[in-house]
Structure 1
Amino acid sequence: MKMPTLRPVLLIAAITCLTFVGLRGTSSAEEAYLIPAPVTDEANTATSATAVFAGGCFWGVQGVFQHVTGVTNAVSGYVGGEAETAVYEKVGRGWTGHAEAVKITYDPRQISYGALLQIYFSVAHDPTQKDRQGPDVGPQYRSAIFPTSPEQERIAAAYIAQLDQAKVFPKAIATRLEGDKPFYAAEDYHQDFLTLNPSYPYIVFNDLPKIAALKAIFPKEYRDEPVLVGAVR
């Protein structure tokens, strides 16, 4: 595939989103590993629910969850700030309060909130980095969970405590629980970026290893055909 022709604003996005996230400190999918599942999980019989996770550049986080069975949509966006500042150029300056995040719509009958958390902490990003992912520095790249219900907040808090107590990671988890806040979808050119630009250097280096790790570590949850924002709209 040819390198995509990017408009100037997307070139800026590519530069500021260039993060050596890796998986547990490396970009190799082979060195990622399965962390324990949550002891506490939801008992949700609804047909649809939402989860909002932030973990660095949203291209890779969106790409991971688009390949998860039971996820019906995953949208890149901004959360934590005001509506008028939910614009890429403003968020990228780090003063808006927003984090780059992904809003995940899922079927709780197929995958639980706890299972989504396990994938989030295992392969979607490095939860031990505070206000950054690799060299991408700033609160807009923070590791944060935005629970959409008291039950989600309880499950996420218990899981973070469980993982820290078990010393699963070499450092304490930096992921913040920030409560239910309005989510604003990112610009169209950010949506489905991983799938639409698989040869883009940033995607090849940082994000395709996450997809490979998802497939290797969570084979039952992995699906080869991603659910795309463009297909859902």
Structure 2
Amino acid sequence: MEKAIFAAGCFWGIEAAFRRLPGVTEAISGYTGGITESPSYEQVCGGQTGHAEAVEVTYDPAKIGYGELVDIFFELHDPTQINRQGPDIGTQYRSGLFPLNDDQAEIARAKKQALIERGRDVATEITPGGPFWPAEDYHQRYFEKRGLAQHG
């Protein structure tokens, strides 16, 4: 199994979407890309931690590759928006790829560049993956817990 970290606005919908993919064994909502250790949701929303709401995806590379996950990531949100997705505004809602190794970083850069070459103004940051802090339990499987998993 391998891991990948994606930030694409509010983590609830992204977690649910990744969780449904064949080859994905786990998707966890959390925080990454900032300076505060073990941040709380309230701290992240306060905008002082530098963290983005993100999802850590565990996947079987024999069933789904990182490149395919990145393609899906770009389809799941609007990567042209800076520090927002829809009505959610703030640095915690930024679009970001957080590669965990050199291969992931190379793929992430190539996928972003391909979109740019097709005329997209991609704001997605690519930052080496650092610590990932799982969000509080009430954020995990948020849509599932409310009977909305199929809409995530």
TM norm structure 1: 0.62
CA contact (8 A) 1:51 1:148 kept: yes
Q: Report the equivalent of 2:132.
A: 183
In the alignment, is residue 136 of structure 1 matched against residue 88 of structure 2? yes
Q: Report the equivalent of 2:73.
A: 120
Taking the aligned partners of 1:116 and 1:137, their CA distance within structure 2 comes to: 25
**Aligned-partner residue type, residue 6 of structure 2:** F
CA deviation vs aligned residue, 1:115-161 (integer Å, no higher than 9, x gap): 00111111x21111111111211110000010000110011001111
Q: Report the equivalent of 1:151.
A: 103
Taking the aligned partners of 1:163 and 1:80, their CA distance within structure 2 comes to: 23
Taking the aligned partners of 1:157 and 1:198, their CA distance within structure 2 comes to: 36
CA contact (8 A) 2:11 2:29 kept: yes
Helix, strand or coil at the partner of 2:105: helix
What is the CA-CA distance between 1:81 and the residue it aligns to?
Answer: 2.0
Uncovered stretches (5+) of structure 1, i.e. residues with no partner: 1-47, 212-233
Helix, strand or coil at the partner of 1:181: coil
CA RMSD of aligned residues (A): 1.5
* Structure showing the higher strand proportion among its residues: 2
Helix, strand or coil at the partner of 1:160: helix
Q: Report the equivalent of 2:64.
A: 111
Q: Report the equivalent of 2:114.
A: 162
Taking the aligned partners of 1:109 and 1:84, their CA distance within structure 2 comes to: 33
In the alignment, is residue 198 of structure 1 matched against residue 151 of structure 2? no
Q: Percent identity?
A: 47
Uncovered stretches (5+) of structure 2, i.e. residues with no partner: none
Q: Report the equivalent of 2:4.
A: 51
Q: How does 1:71-90 map to 2 (within 5 A)?
A: 71-84=24-37, 86-90=39-43
